[in-house]
């Protein structure tokens, strides 16, 4: 399967597999340094963060706990609904824990600002954010992502965990979805 080959589904690749992996290694080294001597629990946001959790956690040369949450902010389309709802909650208590949320993409920031507040209200000692991608709109909200893989333009992207109607998550790169598929 080479979906990038004919441009019918993937208009263009904006972040290659190699770029993703080398950036994750860099950020993992930074995280190890920042959290030296400290507790660390990664909370992956399902389903988009599956690839980032799997790769980032393997680059972290230290112990980490891992847990998952599933929330909705997008429906089947490509526009944020602004509604955040928990579909799957954490399995573990995070009282007093140092949390790093692992997200696929920061767009309007609605999801992450809600999630950060939610985790702090459960008594987490600290809550920081790792996101693979960040879109320009993120600048308008007060969510600070401490670790950002790549700043990308405001286009609908798929791959590396990101889907369109549950497809394309398994692409190892990030690409712009051809507009004719959703407009």
**Nearest distance from residue 80's CB to ligand 5GP, in Å?**
4
Q: How far from chain centre, in Å, is Cα 97?
A: 20
Least Cα distance to 148 among 97, 109, 90 occurs for 109
- Contact pattern for ligand 5GP over residues 129 through 158, marking x by CB under 6 A: ---------------------------xxx
Q: Say whether residue 74 binds ligand 5GP (CB under 6 A).
A: yes
Q: How many residues bind ligand 5GP (CB under 6 A)?
A: 20
The runs of H, that is alpha helices, within the chain are 17-34, 50-59, 110-121
> Applying CB under 6 A, which of residues 4, 17, 57, 80 lies at the interface with ligand 5GP?
80
Question: Apex CA 134: angle with CA 137 and CA 156, to 5°?
Answer: 75
Phi-psi region of 76 (alpha: psi -120 to 50; beta: other; left: phi over 0): alpha
55/103 with CB nearer ligand 5GP: 103
**Nearest distance from residue 16's CB to ligand 5GP, in Å?**
17
Q: Say whether residue 68 binds ligand 5GP (CB under 6 A).
A: no
Q: Is the peptide bond before 47 cis (omega within 30 degrees of 0)?
A: yes
> Applying CB under 6 A, which of residues 10, 60, 94, 106 lies at the interface with ligand 5GP?
106
12/38 with CB nearer ligand 5GP: 12
107 is catalytic: yes
> Applying CB under 6 A, which of residues 48, 56, 102, 130 lies at the interface with ligand 5GP?
48
Q: Label the pairing between strands 98-106 and 41-46.
A: parallel
Phi-psi region of 174 (alpha: psi -120 to 50; beta: other; left: phi over 0): beta
Catalytic-labelled residue, pool 107, 137, 151, 163? 107
CA dihedral 89, 92, 93, 98 (to 10 degrees): -100
32/181 with CB nearer ligand 5GP: 181
Residues near ligand 5GP (CB under 6 A) are: 48, 73-74, 80, 103-112, 156-158, 162-164
Active site residues: 107
């Amino acid at each position: 399967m080479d979906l990038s080959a004919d441009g019918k589904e993937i208009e263009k690749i904006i972040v290659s597999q190699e770029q993703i992996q080398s950036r994750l290694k860099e950020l993992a080294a930074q995280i190890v340094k920042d959290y030296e001597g400290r507790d660390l629990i990664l909370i992956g946001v399902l389903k988009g963060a599956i690839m980032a959790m799997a790769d980032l956690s393997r680059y972290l040369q230290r112990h980490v706990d891992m847990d998952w949450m599933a929330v909705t902010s997008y429906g089947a389309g490509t526009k944020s609904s602004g509604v955040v709802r928990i579909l799957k909650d954490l399995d573990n208590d995070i009282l007093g824990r140092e949390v790093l949320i692992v997200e696929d993409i920061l767009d309007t920031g609605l999801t992450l600002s809600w999630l950060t507040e939610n985790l702090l209200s459960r008594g987490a000692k600290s809550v920081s954010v790792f996101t693979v991608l960040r879109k320009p709109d993120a600048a308008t909200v007060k969510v600070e992502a401490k670790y950002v893989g790549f700043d990308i333009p405001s286009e609908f992207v798929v791959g590396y965990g990101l889907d369109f109607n549950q497809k394309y998550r398994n692409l190892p790169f990030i690409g712009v979805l051809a507009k004719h598929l959703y407009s």
